[in-house]
Amino acid sequence: MPQAASNRVIVPRDVPHEAGDCLITELQSLSERVHAVTRAIDTAIALERTASSAEAAADVVVLDDVMPRYLRAISALQACSVHLDDAVQFLRKC
């Protein structure tokens, strides 16, 4: 956590328009990355469902607790995405 505090970006109140545009671009890029990771998790879930279906067809029972972990990750990423979108909207209004 101490490192997180040292990585903060402090922007003065009178930020030039170009600096605001740069921040918006960075936030949009980060938002796109969050969406890409969410899609990757969706793909992993689909692959696991396909694999578990094949195993079920072979009368093999698999107890798996991976799905809840994926679902928690997706939930966190969705919350992150919402906050990133809010930040972009806020900066556009400034």
> In the prediction, which pLDDT does 49 show?
77
Q: In which residue are the tokens 């799905």 written?
A: 67
What's the pLDDT tens digit per position in 53-90? 655 555 555 555 557 778 889 999 999 999 999 999 99
The Cα–Cα gap between 27 and 88 comes to 7
- Looking at per-residue pLDDT, the higher value among 18 and 46 belongs to 46
- Checking if the pLDDT of 94 tops 60, the result is yes
The Cα–Cα gap between 88 and 34 comes to 14
Domain ranges in the chain? 17-57+66-93
pTM, two decimals, is 0.64
